[in-house]
Structure 1
């Protein structure tokens, strides 16, 4: 144990001599870089007032903060630069007059805008020249006189829109100023069923049952307002009342019916494989409240087959098919005679039919059984 202690002491002595009696110097730690502490915000003020847009930065050191105005990279303008040590703002040429007049000033790295006007509305970005750190604020300025009354803007301005079925629809009612109103959407006649809260009502797919009137009810400022949007959905729909119709030989007439819906009101035509059917002595075409009829008189074998009820309104189209066939009439026995053979009879009958018959089936039995 004693030997180990002596050896350790000797080693320490040798190391101390090799370093000239000095401790080895440690490398200096790198100071932390700037850190942006402010989060993005929306700022509302009235014309003539002042607003302070914050941009708090820690450990700025010798680096600078840049204030820019504009919504995107292409339109942004550099307003001023604030150096981390001098903290003296350097305004760009187009903003020099605003600095000299006192409209623009700074408080540390914060930007102050005085005597606000509509020209000051926009997006302001504070950028730190370190690792691309930035924060963006939105400034809105409201005219004091108009602030008492919420002036709404509507989309579409006509408050009417027409779309094909399945298309998306957007309605909006908003105000460009402050305060923003509270907006509630509902269908006319169903005020207790709120569809959406906020300035925009979006229907991803509009169907025929969505057609109608939508109310945008707003409250804000000194009064409540509201307006109504009308939605028209273009569509057509057709279905046959009967897809197969059998004509009785005794009648030799048939009535084909299809039910039609659509907006705008569709045009209806009847077709066969030979082309469109026109009104005439053999064909009568009529309509009443969404029902369209084709009546065929004195049916012959050539009249049997498929008929199409075709509808269109310039936007959509549809068709329904009806198949017309015939069944023979009741057989009528003309004569039944017994032949020379006691169990043999000659029977004569007649049947009326639109089409030639290929098969007869006779059933017989003893009378009274």
Structure 2
């Protein structure tokens, strides 16, 4: 048979060529066992992935970087996959997406994804196949989305007594939490923010004017700043009226202001009346108006100005009015003494009273205050105090008080027009002597006495030391005497022998 030189080149994946021995006999090809060759990587250390499983969090629109570091990669091929879809093999980018990019250097492969979106979230696998035995590491990409919130309505009008539920919806990743706040506008105090409930809705039950304001729903998920949406809630209601009196005493004249405070939506029209007649502005009766407040100022008050004053407010939803009686009776006393007393059994009570005519008599009621809401206070004690010298400021000393007790006081004032209304309850604490601030007074001593005192203070310690020293020295003396006696006896015995 014609001599045949057979050379078979086998290409083994990731390995080397295997060259079977040449033979002149074709039959020897079937009988001869081929030489065994191993891939190069099996003749050295196998690849090892140094990167551990992990998670990468990136905000939407930014660039995600997934890292995979392999030691001893050699001729093996590193592949990136998403689920079962191959993204890259070695330096070759298989996935045709311009947002994907590879950075490969010294066994490190970084997969870059630009402009990530929520659809890019998921598990990415870095894999190296070693002769059908793959090793891999997983990188989980979590794309974060800033919160977005939307209110069902931005403007809302309700009538007093209605029920309504405000609603907001939020989106983002992670799923945002909805927090409700309310901004309330006052005439002089600006905005006050109150925190409300958490959830997609906020319920308003039996609304009043106090429920009006700007409600804000905020979506919070920890990605950037919270997203907010405002709902302006307006409450429509009939006027609600309050009335106040303020007196000012200046020498021989008295000035009175009567304030009518009106809450209404829509805004109200306000009219003043005394008894049954409408009030008009004069040189002594001045009228002013501010947002929500109407004022009558009566200068140089006379007894002819006394009467029943009322302010009446009205809008399309209804009417309301409030009354106050202006008379020559004194105003209720206002207590000015401190609320903490350091005297053990007495307390100096001071107060001021404004009156059109001089006050002729005061009445004070006081008692030991109740300890808690479950216990009644003590029995009221009443004092009637005639006024010898008329004055706006007065004082009286309460006696026989208990130390460590709280007392309530109520006052009344009387003049030729009658008794005033009772004052607001005034409360004070009878603490007793404050030893923390009590100064102990001592007579001054001259230097000779001070020196003598010091000398008198020291001897006990010195004597004690001397006693101890004497005892110690006595012990030494006794020991010495015993030793001396024993020595003499021993000498005497030896001498006799």
TM-score of the aligned structures, taking structure 2 as reference length: 0.31
Flag the structure with larger Rg: 2
Q: Which has the higher contact order (CA 8 A, sep 6+)?
A: 1
